[in-house]
Structure 1
Amino acid sequence: MKKKHYIVSMMAVIFLYLLGIGNFHGALQANNQKTQHASTKIIKIGFPIQEGLSMKDEKGNYTGYMYDYLKELSQYTGWEYEFIESKSDDVDTQISELLDKLNKGEIDMLGSMRRSDELAKLYDYPTESYGYAYNVLAVNKDNDWLDSYTLANGKKITIALQKKAEIRNGQLKEYVKTNGLKVNYKYYNNGTAQMEAVKKGEADALLSVDIALASDFRVIARFSPDPMYFAVAKGKTKIVHDLNKGMEELNEINPTLKQTLYTKYFEEKLDHVILTQQEKDYIKKAKTFHVMIMSNQAPVQYVKGNKATGTAIDILEDIKEETGLQFSYEFVDNYHEYEERMLHHEIDILASINYDYSLNYINTMSVTNAYLKAPLQIVLQKNTGLNALDNKKLAIRKELSSILKSRIDPHNVIYANSTQDCLKAVHDGKADYMIDSSYAISYYMNQLGYRSMISVADVKGDMLNYSFGVVDGNDHMLVGILNKCIRNLKEEDINTYIYQHSLDKATFTLRDYIQQHIIESMVITLLIIICIVAVFSYFYHRQLKMKRQIEVENNRYRMLSKITQEIIFEYDYEKDILKLGDKHNFLAETNEIENYAKDISSDKKKDESSLFQCIMEMKDTDREVLIQLANKEVRWFHVVMKVVYDMDRPVYAIGRAVDIQEEKTERENLEKKSMMDALTSVYNTAAFKKKIQLELVRDKGMYAFGVLDIDYFKEVNDEFGHFIGDQVLIHCADVMQKAFGEKALIGRLGGDEFAVFLMAPQDEKAVANGCARLQKALQTTIEGLPNITLSMGFVMTKDVCDYNILYQKADKVLYEVKAAGRNAYFIKS
């Protein structure tokens, strides 16, 4: 019986999505104890530390998919949680210990569990899962030849599998068979060995699960989703009952929570789009694609100043910058012309289309994934109720007729060219209500200013999916590239684009406003007459009012200063007096400095105080500046300043200064750290290349560039292990810097390959001396490290201004050294 329970519990552990299979001796023995309290609001939850699922941040706060879900669930169960952790750093051991506690009833629940008949004999389960996990095929993030397109088109690949993950392996083989993929399999003992195999090139991809995938891998295929459950200690039926009830209510109130949490913690967003070589070749040969937009569908696509703009255009410009694809824009203002030009293939791409088979042209073209989804809204007169829309006249844009097909009465509909036309039809009484995208309605309702109408959410929940349409339905390569870019779009960027364009008002003339708002226009005219009559009185009181306003502002800032620990200042341009808040001792010995500008100018100290420069610019300021304190120390401050004017004359400057020296220093340290190779503390490849390119552009004099390789480094790793290999790399980087001097730029290009850049060496001999010093330093025996030698290829030139060309020349010299027997250096001009 114990053996049977051990096997069943091991199935549960496998579903906890660990890449390695632990050794769980004795921890998973069956235990049917029913030691539960009858009713409690404090639930003990097993909390293994797993990336994405259940984590702790650097401050010790809990986070992750499971934690967020449990916090939402507590609103419906009234539970409080006590999270039980394991002291072990090994995830396998953590799971083993927590399962043992669950078996013994020492904890109430454990998440991320598989449900089966066998496991149900050991644990109680709720009726619903709290999420799904997918099996995935994954490759290195920097792999530029293998993706879902390559996989589906018959490229044969080698997949690394874990020997003991039999269920997952079987699901993969079924997926391979179903999709006709061409693969070889290699088996490894654990997840670490799997990843190493892919990194070394022994395998092209590995089999894992999405919620346990390491951050340096990316997914090329997903399949066979499995539900995740909370397992409850056997016999604790009250907890199961409350859990079922709470999850049911949570799903009803917030049905998208699971997808939201999955997107937050597991959806993969790359720093940049990974293109295959085939895609890169396609882009190099591709023409400029003509994109057609509708000129009146803001904020997604519209025209401003005879130029195409909108969220769709912003996304295409991002794609252009990311991939090199070229786009030009053409626009039309009515749907008939839009459809005609599309059917005659006069353009290449549609900026926005909703995928719908009922459209007569959809089967001849290709449509990308949606780059934006918008809920529909209803606009109607304030005196029209939502329940009274039956048999009422509807106004819609022609292109929305398919998505709203089930709601349209052919005898009671008006088709319009634009959202504005639909709104005008409702406003003028030609239609009773209209339906359109929430973004478009918000934009044009604000623009047109119709106050007699209201907009409400569409209770039926239909969504408008904005996609790009590729007119050539056979251009699968272009569609694939666009889809890659769309998948990598960041939600915050999309929201920023929508927000920017929602605030961007289209051209709207005074004549348009008067025609649409006759009564309001009469009122405005009357107000203008009143304002003209009262203008002298206004100017008479303006000065007193401004002074009172300034005093109120001063008091507010002083109070704010006490609360926020900020330095508040006020400058009087007429009296040349600088007043400081309660913390004036940071900047001066007194809180009121007379003749402030006069003294600084006469003492020629203008450059010593950037606060002086901000004040003398006489304009609103929000920036970081260096300020000299009373103790002569110079520190960074964030200065926000507002200038109060009387007509065109500056009167006062009021502002605050916040000390940000520590924040500034921390940012600079982080930036510097990001440029260095984590192992050797010399420049990483990207930073080294950037600095060299800057030097090549800035200085046209003589310089030397060398590529250095550790001889037979693979044998060092094979014989002494990777730890010793790493120490050898660290030692090499250290002696390189010493041999070539502090001014030399040293970079690690990858593996055992380094590069050296020397500005203005005296001659070839100076470079040779550096190489000789390096060779001599490496001859010195270091305890614990094997003796090594280097092959070095240098070029000296003043003509090359491109890093890649310089690298190729030096690399060629390096291979001449290797061909000559290694352990030497060649220097060529």
Structure 2
Amino acid sequence: MKKHTIQIWSMGLALCLVFCLTTSRVQAEEKKIIRVAFPEQTGFSSTDSAGNHSGYTYEFLEEIAKYTGWEYEFITGDSSDESLLKMMEDLKNGRIDIMGGMVYTPQLAEDYDFPEYNCGYSYSTLSVLKDNEDVNATNYSTFNNMKVGARKTATRRIQALNEFCRANGITLSIVEYDSDEAMQAALKSGGVDALLGPDVAMGDDERIVARFDGRPYYFAVTKGNTEVVSGINTATAAINEQNPNYATELYMKYFNKNNQQVTLESFIKANPTESIVAALGIGLVLAAVVGMTMYIRMQRNQQMLLNYERYRILSEMSKEFIFEYDYREDSIVVSEQFAHTFGGKSQVDHFFSTILSKRLDIDESARCFAGLIKRRPPEEARYEVEYKTTVPSGNEEWVRATSMIIFDKHNQPMRAIGKIININAEQCEKEALINQAHRDALTGLYNRTTFEELVNTYLQERGDEEGAMMVVDLDHFKTVNDTLGHQGGDEVLEDLAREMTACFGEEAVLGRLGGDEFLVFVKDVKACRDKPVQAARALCRAMNRCYERNSGQIEVSVSVGLAYSFRNSAFEMLYSMADEALYYMKDHGKNNVKVYDASIGDALGNNDNNTRKGAF
């Protein structure tokens, strides 16, 4: 007995070990490996001689991996344009899954997918040499009459600088260069006072004196890789919820090192008059402190205005309609673009109680919008819906709406912030692709597969003697092609498709089997079984016509075979019966319709099928 007990325990232990090893191996196999483009870019991505990775992109991806369980394979490269272009091509072709630091443009969106959430902002900057004390970030008047070096190709950045100067009353001149090296040389030699460029590509001997024109950048993904895009969206949303300042903290760590620090010495040098006045007495010092406080407040207000303007411009450029709903006040604030597009004011009080609630019973779009601002628990903070709404033109178009709720410390909803994007073109394109997959390219009728599915579905639901199947065939179509040419033959086929629609109506299922053979299925004929016969004869009369093309002339006609459905009938069986009736009609005069009966099979069995088909 003891020996058997030991054997049982041994077998159990072995089974547990096998199960654990198998589970471990399956879990290891389920680890997803993501290939990441990792070029050498200061601040963004860097790899040392030991193969250790660092940078903004690396840290953000590591944070994403905490939520997705991904493991990364970093595809490294140098900082040359050739290396970056090759990585972008590899991303496009699927050899790489993710590439960081990509700014969204409609052109890039044609080749890559972009997540909904960005991973940070990049700014245009003005930078000077660190030992240049004449230019001070706290006093824009020191910018006047500066010479600024810029790349010739940076037209958008130059435009943003001009707008920044106009907003702040700054006068300067721009010197354009063909390369970054030429710009750096000009800065060091005194040819220019400052350089215009991105904050992520600045030399160690420079410091930032102005930052403007923020643009979001993303992790770009291979087109169609929805799994990776979804993973990035889910993880980024979770990161933002855990730490809304995560991207800002990374930015300060990697890209704010050379920003000019405001010191008392630099302020005195930039503002000598105020400093002298402050030195005259304690009273004047107090006045100077008040003035300085006001100055800082003005700077902050100006920055807030710039941030708002940038946010407004980005909203307009991306064609997003922004809204913010206050639960406690029951008020909603919308962007100017939102108010202009959908009508109404930019701010509405008592929004839900007096306006939206009255439309819920009559307006589907109102019910969908109500879902965006509905009170939800923190775990359901994000909500997305697609629906149709009326636009100023009076048409109904598809939109995609997304909202995120902000909660107070007691997990009570405070505000719902959201955006609405017009996706009508995307939806129409999707519907067109679906339609294209189900239709014959020449005639626009259903193809064989779709026709068969529709007929079988109807027969399964209705059965009995409810339907009539017809096979329609052009007589002597080879002769038609030989006489009129293939283009002329196509015109005859298109005419036949139009006449079928006219004779059988919109309710009939119409399809093209291929070549000159067409299919018709008429529904609900039990009460009037002669109706499809009459429609088929009308089609024969309509198509019995003469065609002329390129001095060629030929008489055209069609023959039709018809079979009625019966209990437990299916497409293949009805098609075979209608096809036999068609061949019988072809053997007995053509240009008419024949209804299938049992005698047709015997009649066709006495003929040589090959000879008969050759005559058609």
Question: Normalization by structure 1: what TM-score?
Answer: 0.34
By relative contact order (CA 8 Å, sep 6+), the higher-ranking structure is: 2
Structure having the higher helix fraction is 2
Q: Which has the larger radius of gyration?
A: 2
Question: Normalization by structure 2: what TM-score?
Answer: 0.44
